[in-house]
């Protein structure tokens, strides 16, 4: 999709404020119907409901299940009496105010009545949901379309356990050709499209954007530098020398010539690639005929760059100008939705999603819920192609048309090129899910291997790994990475800027103490008044990723282990297993020593899969904490400037900035380049280089 800033698609209706999990204060009181007057003494908690309710009516505990179901039916019947016959969204909540399910209906009263019938033949998943329900909240909407959009928004915010959940916390990247400078810049952009210019996208991932921008620079020679760097140049930079920029900063090209390059790039990204290539080919032939072979070679290289873009994009449809293609494949209790993005007749990448859904959901149900959530914060294209027929495709098309401000078509192609696109997407979905299942099986075997090798009391569902980073005590930061049965859980990662004022610089024990106390005190003492969070810290719900770790791993030896053990004893943590990983001699991978409380040191064989798994966990923590430290340090350097470097006074600072333009370019420079600056000796160049490239501890 191509559009100009600042025009934005019409947003869907939102709740008044972002609701907390289970909060009843997130909707206007006049729009909320609370049905919590069911006798609380007859209710049971959520874990007991799940334990007592059978998957089938043949279970031996059927009588107990009926008793629990009666509570849910009573709560829903109470809601039916107050429910409107108009469109709306309803939320089912348990005794702890956890939102169990969010649904929408054209007639809310009729929909809730279908849950209230005691003898209705409902799936086991729905019966479990009813059994756990103690009250229902309802929001009326003007139309069913608004209800669909609000339902998708609330599911993404509240993440109810009985809904299909789209686990996606990243916005899509775009290519921006800026419009606020006489020499437009080409760059990757995420987030709000507030900067003036032309936006092209979405692209499936940052890699697709970066490859396209690199090829576009070769083809159209548009600058990628910042405006500050552009204004400070007195001579062309390296990109001009390697023919990836036309050099407008030093007037190597005039304004009309650069404007023509920008126009050609815009035409290409807007879908008129064939016309652009024909023009370049004609210019190449003309230059060759006039014996201007260097100019002809330049056009040849630009044509080759354009061909490279299209070859990297793989399949490029002839009859589909703008579309998103969705294909779903289910296997082994998992679902994979593969999404392909086609804009201006070009393939702008694909991405695989693994929505969280119970095994009883059909592909059509998963895909329908996935689509509504997917476009909650993204502009839809003109055409959406699906691999399966969904029940409410017409309603979804109407809702997305309202959101986009133009007609959106949702269809399942039966023949032709569009059908081929679906087939290609299905193949990718099948392969992606196969890899996912293989990774999950491998992960499960490794976790089970840790139980046997380390003597853990149970298979860990959540592993937390901690590490610290600093340079001589400065910019100290701690980090926690998390892994589970599905691999690394990056949305659970946390960093901790060390705040203790009395901490001795470089005191690793003190830094680890602060990190662990901040992490576990929050679990032990959740904020008062937030019953949902308190409940969440008390249990590890089988349907969600647990908040409490089963195993904590730290980077260090017996000393670090004992220090952390003392911290755990002070906090009263007895249910969490603890392990320290000490590097081998000369930091050799494969020769690590593992330490656990009240046990002899453990040394595994270098080829042991469990040892390799532990190394991956430790290395991921090290990567994350080093990255966090460098970001913090760069921020301090930007704020403090060059005066923090020993031996660099005002005159050398001015000389460096005059020579390189920006602090970022000084940071990138080699020792040899730094030594070329007037007034900077070889020793000073070495100090500057080491300041920017010092390795944190």
Provide the whole-model pTM. 0.64
Higher per-residue pLDDT: 454 or 499 = 454
Classify residue 174 by its DSSP letter. E
- Closest C-alpha to 174, from 337, 341, 38: 341
Q: Could you tell me which residues come within 8 angstroms of residue 390 by beta carbon, excluding any fewer than 6 positions away? A: 364, 367, 368, 371, 396, 410
- Closest C-alpha to 581, from 616, 613, 553, 612: 553
Query: If you write DSSP's letter for every residue of 211-223 in order, what string do you get?
Result: HHHHHHHHHH---
Do the Cβ atoms of 253 and 247 come closer than 8 Å? yes
Q: Is 101 exposed, middle or buried (0-12, 13-18, 19+ CB in 10 A)?
A: buried
Q: Could you tell me which residues come within 8 angstroms of residue 238 by beta carbon, excluding any fewer than 6 positions away? A: none
323-435 and 463-526+546-632, same CATH topology: yes
Do the Cβ atoms of 72 and 122 come closer than 8 Å? no
Average pLDDT value for residue range 240-264: 88
119: its two tokens:
């003898």
Rounded CA-CA distance 88/139 in Å is 5
Higher per-residue pLDDT: 5 or 351 = 351
CATH number for region 2-158: 3.40.1440.10
Query: If you write DSSP's letter for every residue of 35-71 in order, what string do you get?
Result: ---S-GGG---HHHHHHHS-SSTTSTTHHHHHHHHHH
666 three-state secondary structure: helix
C-alpha dihedral (20, 21, 22, 25), degrees to nearest 10: 10
CATH topology of domain 323-435: Nucleotidyltransferase; domain 5 (3.30.420)
Higher per-residue pLDDT: 664 or 482 = 482
What is the separation of C-alpha 161 from the centre of its chain, rounded to a whole number of angstroms?
20
Q: Is 242 exposed, middle or buried (0-12, 13-18, 19+ CB in 10 A)?
A: exposed
Backbone angles phi, psi at 197, to 5 degrees: 150, -170
Average pLDDT value for residue range 658-663: 66
Rounded CA-CA distance 237/230 in Å is 10
pLDDT tier at 336 (50, 70, 90 boundaries)? very high
Rounded CA-CA distance 64/375 in Å is 42
pLDDT at 63 over 80: no
The predicted structure's pLDDT at residue 507: 67
| Long-range contacts, stretch 13-20, CB < 8 angstroms, 24+ apart | 13/141, 13/146, 13/149, 13/150, 13/153, 14/150, 14/153, 15/139, 15/150, 15/153, 15/154, 15/157, 18/157, 19/154, 19/157, 19/158, 20/530, 20/532, 20/533
Rounded CA-CA distance 400/409 in Å is 9
Q: Could you tell me which residues come within 8 angstroms of residue 235 by beta carbon, excluding any fewer than 6 positions away? A: 250
Rounded CA-CA distance 510/500 in Å is 9
Name residue, tokens 């490859």.
211
Cβ burial 2-27 (10 Å sphere, 16+ → b, else e): beebeeebeebbebeeebbbbbbebb
User: Any bridge partners for residue 135, and if so which?
Assistant: 93
Classify residue 669 by its DSSP letter. -
Do the Cβ atoms of 433 and 329 come closer than 8 Å? yes
In angstroms, what CA-CA distances link 322 with 313, 342, 393, 624? 15, 5, 19, 38
Q: Beta-strand (E) ranges in 485-567? A: 487-488, 494-497, 551-555
pLDDT at 697 over 80: no
Q: Could you tell me which residues come within 8 angstroms of residue 228 by beta carbon, excluding any fewer than 6 positions away? A: 661, 662
pLDDT digits (tens, 9 = 90+) for 305-314: 666 655 554 5
Question: What is the sign, positive or negative, of the torsion defined by CA atoms of 645, 648, 654, 658?
Answer: negative
Rounded CA-CA distance 187/671 in Å is 29
Backbone angles phi, psi at 178, to 5 degrees: -65, 155
pLDDT digits (tens, 9 = 90+) for 165-187: 887 656 788 889 998 899 999 99
Q: Could you tell me which residues come within 8 angstroms of residue 691 by beta carbon, excluding any fewer than 6 positions away? A: 644, 645, 646
Average pLDDT value for residue range 433-459: 86
The predicted structure's pLDDT at residue 18: 39
- Domain 645-693 in CATH 1.10.150.20? The answer is yes
- Domain 463-526+546-632 in CATH 3.40.50.1480? The answer is no
Q: Report domain extents, the chain.
A: 2-158, 174-312, 323-435, 463-526+546-632, 645-693
Do the Cβ atoms of 30 and 351 come closer than 8 Å? no
pLDDT digits (tens, 9 = 90+) for 459-506: 898 999 988 775 554 567 788 899 888 888 888 888 887 766 666 665
Cβ burial 353-369 (10 Å sphere, 16+ → b, else e): bbbbbbeebebbbbbbb
- Closest C-alpha to 496, from 628, 328, 309: 628
124: its two tokens:
């086991």
pLDDT digits (tens, 9 = 90+) for 530-557: 444 444 444 434 345 788 889 999 888 8
- Closest C-alpha to 249, from 265, 264, 220, 228: 228
Q: Provide the edge-to-edge strand list for the sheet that holds 99-105.
A: 99-105, 88-93, 135-140
As separate numbers, helices (DSSP H) first and strands (DSSP E) second, the chain gives: 22, 19
In angstroms, what CA-CA distances link 315 with 341, 351, 387, 420, 655? 11, 15, 18, 10, 51
pLDDT at 199 over 50: yes
Higher per-residue pLDDT: 503 or 50 = 503
């Amino acid at each position: 999709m191509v559009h100009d800033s600042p025009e934005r698609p019409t947003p869907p209706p939102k709740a008044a404020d972002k609701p907390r999990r289970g909060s009843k204060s997130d909707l206007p009181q006049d729009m909320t119907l609370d049905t919590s007057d069911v006798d609380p003494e007859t209710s049971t908690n959520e874990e007991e409901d799940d334990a007592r309710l059978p998957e089938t009516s043949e279970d031996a505990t059927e009588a107990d299940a009926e008793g629990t179901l009666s509570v849910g039916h009573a709560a829903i019947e109470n809601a039916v009496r107050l429910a409107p016959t108009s469109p709306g969204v309803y939320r089912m909540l348990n005794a702890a105010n956890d939102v169990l399910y969010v649904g929408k209906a054209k007639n809310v009263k009729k929909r809730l009545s279908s849950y209230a019938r005691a003898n209705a033949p409902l799936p086991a998943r729905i019966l479990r949901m009813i059994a756990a329900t103690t009250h229902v909240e309802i929001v009326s909407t003007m139309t069913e379309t608004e209800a669909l959009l609000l339902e998708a928004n609330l599911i993404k915010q509240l993440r109810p356990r009985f809904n299909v959940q789209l686990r996606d916390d990243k916005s899509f990247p775009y290519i921006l050709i800026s419009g606020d400078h006489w020499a437009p810049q080409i760059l990757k952009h995420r987030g709000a499209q507030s900067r003036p210019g032309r936006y092209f996208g979405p692209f499936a991932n940052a890699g697709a954007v970066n490859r396209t921008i690199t090829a576009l620079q070769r083809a159209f020679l548009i600058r990628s530098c910042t405006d500050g760097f552009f204004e400070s140049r007195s001579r062309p930079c390296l990109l001009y020398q390697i023919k990836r920029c036309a050099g407008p900063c030093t007037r190597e090209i005039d304004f009309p010539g650069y404007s023509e390059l920008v126009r050609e790039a815009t035409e290409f990204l807007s879908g008129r690639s064939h016309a652009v290539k024909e023009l370049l080919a004609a210019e190449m032939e003309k230059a060759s005929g006039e014996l201007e072979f260097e100019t002809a070679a330049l056009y040849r290289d630009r044509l080759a760059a354009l061909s490279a873009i299209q070859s990297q994009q793989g399949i490029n449809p002839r009859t589909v100008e703008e579309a998103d293609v969705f294909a779903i494949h289910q296997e082994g209790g998992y679902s994979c939705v593969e999404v392909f993005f086609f804009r201006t007749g070009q393939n702008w990448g694909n991405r695989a999603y693994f929505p969280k859904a119970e095994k009883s959901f059909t592909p059509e149900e998963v895909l329908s819920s996935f689509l509504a959530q997917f476009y909650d914060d993204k502009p839809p294209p003109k055409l959406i192609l699906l691999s399966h027929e969904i029940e409410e495709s017409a309603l979804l098309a109407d809702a997305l048309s309202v959101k986009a401000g133009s007609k959106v078509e949702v269809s399942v192609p039966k023949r032709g090129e569009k059908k081929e696109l679906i087939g290609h997407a299905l193949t990718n979905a099948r392969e992606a899910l196969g890899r996912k299942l293989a990774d999950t099986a491998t992960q499960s075997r490794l976790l089970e291997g840790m139980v046997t090798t380390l003597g853990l009391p149970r298979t860990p569902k959540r592993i937390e790994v901690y590490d610290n980073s600093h340079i001589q005590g400065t910019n100290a930061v701690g980090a926690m990475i998390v892994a589970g049965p599905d691999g690394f859980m990056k949305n659970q990662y946390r960093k901790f800027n060390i705040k203790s004022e009395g901490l001795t610089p470089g005191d690793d024990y003190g830094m680890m103490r602060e990190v662990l106390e901040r992490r576990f005190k929050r679990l032990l003492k959740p904020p008062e008044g937030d019953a949902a969070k308190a409940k969440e810290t008390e249990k590890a719900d089988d349907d969600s990723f647990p908040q409490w770790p089963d195993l904590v791993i730290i980077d260090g030896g017996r000393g670090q282990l004992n220090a952390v053990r003392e911290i755990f004893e002070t906090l009263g943590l007895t249910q969490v297993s603890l392990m320290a990983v000490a590097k081998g001699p000369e930091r050799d991978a494969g020769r690590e020593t593992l330490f656990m409380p009240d046990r002899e040191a453990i040394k595994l064989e270098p080829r042991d899969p469990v040892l390799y798994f532990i190394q991956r966990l430790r290395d991921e923590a090290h990567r994350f904490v080093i990255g966090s430290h460098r970001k913090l340090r760069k921020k301090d350097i930007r704020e403090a400037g060059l005066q923090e470097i020993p031996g660099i006074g005002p005159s050398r600072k001015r000389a460096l900035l005059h020579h390189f333009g920006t602090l970022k370019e000084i940071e990138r420079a080699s020792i040899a380049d730094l030594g070329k600056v007037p007034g900077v000796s070889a020793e000073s160049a070495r100090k500057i280089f080491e300041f920017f490239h010092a390795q944190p501890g």
